[in-house]
Structure 1
Amino acid sequence: MMTRLRQLSVRQWSLAGLAFCALMMGVALGLEHIAGLAPCPLCIFQRVAVLSAAAVFLVAAIHNPAGRLGAAAYGALSLAAVIGGIGVAWRHLWLQSLPPEQVPSCGPGLDYMMDVLPLRDVLSMVLSGSGECAEIDFLLAGISLPGWTLIGFVVLALAPLGLLFAALREGPREPRGAVVAKQD
């Protein structure tokens, strides 16, 4: 199994990461539109992290870079998006763990904040949390949605790490059809 994982190409790692991002977004949209669970601002930021990673994986899969630099660049960019998602999910879980008297009060909605505030202020307010982000609306096996999202991001991190390991393994590729002279 490990030998097979070591042999995966940049495109294969990218497609695996993209497929897992699609799965995560499918679950999120299903919970929103089928189960009726409205996303809070931190949930939306987690979705942005998933979509950011998906965008990097898509470009990497299409580009399928030759050599170490491209694989490393795509691995680093997608890992940055995943780490951002891990941070937001962790913050969300922390807010849910607070006693009710320590939960921040609910602020204005994300749409309103995006309309009237600079992006830096919106990010600061959302990450400081609000009462709606501390509510636990759904549990599966005793784990809240941000907990499952955190688990999803940890699993998703395998794809960028695979890209980075592929970068370590990859050497520069010869163009297709090139004749390589053997040296003695």
Structure 2
Amino acid sequence: MNMNTITPPRWMALIALSGIGMLAFGLYLQHVVGLNPCPMCIVQRYALIGVVVVAAVGWRVRGWGLAVSALLLALVSGFGAFTAARQSWLQWYPPEIVTCGRDFYGMVENFPINRAIPMIFKGSGDCTKIDWTFLGGSIANWSFVCFVAFGLLGLWVAFKSRQPAA
């Protein structure tokens, strides 16, 4: 199938549906399998919710609205990819002193936001733990791949939506 056979708004719909599927799988891993998300996993979930919302809006708008939402999708995906890359790095090179710090909500509730955000990206002991793998990659590795794909598709949609129809 040629990428040109699917219109840019439909790509946004596919991205939104893919994100919903990923969120559903994350909830399955949490509530059925019993894996508890670490602070960086929760940040990635919020980024994925952002991807779904922006892609759903992009699916419904046309013209400049589609281009702007596609660029915003690339930006949100970039943030998610950064978080997943940081977690992957921590999994590959765990810190010498591993401490199980506060959970995400404990950090946000007990510290000002300017102190909580760096603590989240520092990663706690549970952020380095690999509970699940698929084809040799952890959840963070696969999240990174998906966020990069969403971001690249967002840039492609932004580019294609501003070209005149042939």
TM-score by length of 2: 0.89
Equivalent of 1:144 in 126, 138, 141: 138
Instruction: State the percentage of identical aligned residues.
Output: 29
In the alignment, is the contact (CA less than 8 A) between 1:104 and 1:129 conserved in 2? no
In the alignment, is the contact (CA less than 8 A) between 1:14 and 1:60 conserved in 2? yes
Equivalent of 2:37 in 18, 36, 39: 39
Equivalent of 2:71 in 62, 76, 90: 76
Gaps of 5+ in 2: none
CA RMSD of aligned residues (A): 1.8
Q: Tell me if 1:119 matches 2:117.
A: no
Following superposition, the deviation at residue 165 of structure 1 comes to 2.4
Q: 1: distance between equivalents of 2:41 and 2:17? A: 20
Q: 2: distance between equivalents of 1:103 and 1:155? A: 34
Instruction: Report the equivalent of 1:167.
Output: 161
Gaps of 5+ in 1: 172-184
Following superposition, the deviation at residue 121 of structure 1 comes to 1.7
User: CA offsets, 1:33-69, max 9 Å, x none?
Assistant: 111111000000111111001111111223x22x2x2
TM-score by length of 1: 0.81
Give the SS at the match of 2:156.
Answer: helix
Q: 1: distance between equivalents of 2:71 and 2:119? A: 27
Following superposition, the deviation at residue 170 of structure 1 comes to 3.9
Misfit runs of 4+, over 4 Å: none
User: CA offsets, 1:95-139, max 9 Å, x none?
Assistant: 01125x625422222111111222222111000111110111122
Q: 2: distance between equivalents of 1:84 and 1:104? A: 25
Q: Tell me if 1:134 matches 2:118.
A: no
In the alignment, is the contact (CA less than 8 A) between 1:21 and 1:156 conserved in 2? no
Q: Tell me if 1:28 matches 2:37.
A: no
Q: Which has the larger radius of gyration?
A: 1
Instruction: Report the equivalent of 1:92.
Output: 87
In the alignment, is the contact (CA less than 8 A) between 2:73 and 2:150 conserved in 1? no
Give the SS at the match of 2:33.
Answer: coil
